[in-house]
Structure 1
Amino acid sequence: MNRPAGDTLDILESLFAPLQGRRMLDIGCGGGHLMQGLVERGARVAGIDIDETAVEAARRAVPTAYVQKAGAEQLPFNDASIHVAVFLNSLHHLPVPNMLLALEEAARVVGKGGSVVVIEPLSEGTFYDALRLIEDETVVRQAAQDAIIRAGRRGILSECRCMEYDRVEAFADASAFIERAVGVDTTRQDRAREALGKMLARFETLSERDVRGYLLRQPLRLHHLKVPVGPPPVVNPLTYG
């Protein structure tokens, strides 16, 4: 499937312009890359991550942001205190039983009429085809999509827009790609070492090349969700699980 290349920051700005003064929460903020971009565009930003090292890195990267160590299932924010909550490549990293709870928490902190954006990688594309040698996330990525559907069926969130685009990443060489893949999740180190030869070969086969270096494409699906203003519908748990 052919998708346009897209920049997540540009897309978020197009959805919520003007960003100036808008309170935005990055759930699973990692080292703060998204927060930094949002702050540069005028947003008032907060972030949470369960990893202490990531929290410290985010605080250094974005000293004006409010960054706390916390889980997505129990956000340290008051009801309706945030304008937009964003999950960028983070929902699928939660335990599957907790994904719906995290979406419910995000809905709580943005309040009725507030926005929750979930951006999740799909299990396709050249980036994923290279990555799956050390970790196949097909099941958890699908679980994240299923959690979004369940949140809609239960009246927690309603979808107002869904779009897909390719994140195109440039690497100087295969080693830079492996460093990127392992840096996101250090538990991949041993598997990457064992599969090094195959990863190098697959990287060479899959990557495109231009003046930026070696390019890999990761398709992303963005869900712009809103918290319904009216009462939630009555849901039969035997029907929807």
Structure 2
Amino acid sequence: MTDMGTRPAGDTVDILAALLAPLQDRRIVDIGCGRGHLLHALAERGARMAGVDPDEAALEAARALVPKAQLHKAGALHLPWGDASMHVAIFLNSLHHVPVLEMLPALEEAARVVGKGGTVIVVEPLSEGTFFDALRLIEDETEVRQAAQDAIVRAMRRGVVSEQRRIEFDRIEAFPDLAAFVARAVAADPARLEQAVAARDKLQARFETLSERDGRGYLLHQPIRLHHLKVPVGPRPVVNPALFG
């Protein structure tokens, strides 16, 4: 387990808002928007939000929360907007949920909709921390999280994007009890519920052992890596794909 003192605690929305300021009238697409938390937070700060998600129930919740957002049921490979129609594309904890073979094409599609000089931000959880260690009893995401990082590297090597900045921080989440943690985990993937029920006793023990406690409840730490990427303005360099796989 990583020493939690190695990364500063941070709030994802605050970090994104600072990176993208000024937000007023910026066109931003949230790829894998879920129930609309990020849509709402950035719209409140003046951004013109759009989003896609394959889950219709999540989209309905997002529509109710952010009625002015342009929301569509779609995956990351087929964004229903034209070339260079957005200023920013964001993957918030969503790239590792894209099938592995589609991760690089998803980054290319994001680059298409923001166009040359546009911004792509990928926020991904690392395979470290107490939140991750608790989640592993429900689903071990080690391989898909690494695949997401590998896809970003491949996108940079192929000239799809270039990295402007990389930020690592510690997301701290508080839960009143195990049920709240399970609800949080299942919200990202309803298929996790069956495994959570099957592993309930072990999960309870691990949750209580790993958590810190204060007035907010049980605290779990999740190290996060944020990639601030730009689509190059010049022509993409010619790269032999055989060199990089």
Question: Where in structure 2 are the equivalents of 1:104-123 lying within 5 Å?
Answer: 104-123=108-127
Q: Distance in 2 between matches of 1:54 and 1:215?
A: 26
> Is 2:27 aligned against 1:23?
yes
> Is 2:132 aligned against 1:128?
yes
Q: 2:52: which partner in 1?
A: 48
Q: 1:14: which partner in 2?
A: 18
Q: Distance in 2 between matches of 1:133 and 1:213?
A: 21
Q: Distance in 2 between matches of 1:183 and 1:195?
A: 18
Q: Structure 1, unaligned stretches of length 5 or more? A: none
Question: Where in structure 2 are the equivalents of 1:76-91 lying within 5 Å?
Answer: 76-91=80-95
Query: Structure 1 residue 208: deviation in Å?
Result: 0.9
Q: 1:159: which partner in 2?
A: 163
Question: Where in structure 2 are the equivalents of 1:90-109 lying within 5 Å?
Answer: 90-109=94-113
Query: Structure 1 residue 183: deviation in Å?
Result: 2.2
Residue identity in the other structure for 1:126: T
Residue identity in the other structure for 1:68: H
Question: Where in structure 2 are the equivalents of 1:48-67 lying within 5 Å?
Answer: 48-67=52-71
Q: 1:215: which partner in 2?
A: 219
1:182-229 deviations in whole A, cap 9, x for unaligned?
222110111111100011011111111111111101111000000000
Residue identity in the other structure for 2:123: I
SS in 1 for 2:191: helix
Q: Distance in 2 between matches of 1:204 and 1:166?
A: 20
Q: Distance in 2 between matches of 1:81 and 1:238?
A: 32
Query: Structure 1 residue 52: deviation in Å?
Result: 1.0
1:59-111 deviations in whole A, cap 9, x for unaligned?
01111111100111010001101011000000000110000000000000000
SS in 2 for 1:235: coil
SS in 2 for 1:47: strand
Instruction: Percent identity, please.
Output: 69
Q: Distance in 2 between matches of 1:178 and 1:225?
A: 32
Q: 1:140: which partner in 2?
A: 144
Q: Structure 2, unaligned stretches of length 5 or more? A: none
Query: Structure 1 residue 56: deviation in Å?
Result: 1.0
1:163-192 deviations in whole A, cap 9, x for unaligned?
111111110111111121122211011111
Q: Distance in 2 between matches of 1:168 and 1:19?
A: 25
Q: 1:35: which partner in 2?
A: 39
**Aligned to 1:171, which of 149, 171, 175?**
175
Q: 1:204: which partner in 2?
A: 208
SS in 2 for 1:231: coil
